[in-house]
Amino acid sequence: MAISLLETLKSQLSDELIGLLSRLTGEQPTLTQAAAERAGEATLAGLLRQGATPEGATALAKLLNDRNFHGSALTDLPAKLRDPTSATGLIDQGK
């Protein structure tokens, strides 16, 4: 059975998470859901494209290491978005 990274990513977009993102951005939940799905698709496509060559994979690994990104920023994302300080920190990290 094939594992779909895209479906796995979309399954993480819970109603709670979309509601929090919607309130944070001031956008309607249906539009927030669509935007989050498209952002996930674009991010995944970019990562796959960048990692398709040895040089690109090396550059991607360097970027992740240099930014000290190990994935913990995405752990319990709803809790982080409920806390204004944490939400601001996530936004700043993405700039």
What pLDDT digit, counting tens, does each position of 37-68 carry?
A: 999 999 889 999 999 999 999 998 998 888 77
**Rounded CA separation 80/30 (Å):** 21
Tokens representing residue 28 in the block: 């309607």
**Rounded CA separation 67/70 (Å):** 9
**Rounded CA separation 62/60 (Å):** 5
Whole-number pLDDT of residue 6? 84
Whole-number pLDDT of residue 2? 56
Instruction: Please list, in sequence order, all residues whose beta carbon lies within 8 angstroms of the beta carbon of residue 70, skipping any fewer than 6 positions away.
Output: 64
* pLDDT tens track for 75-89: 788 998 898 888 888
Tokens representing residue 67 in the block: 């930014």
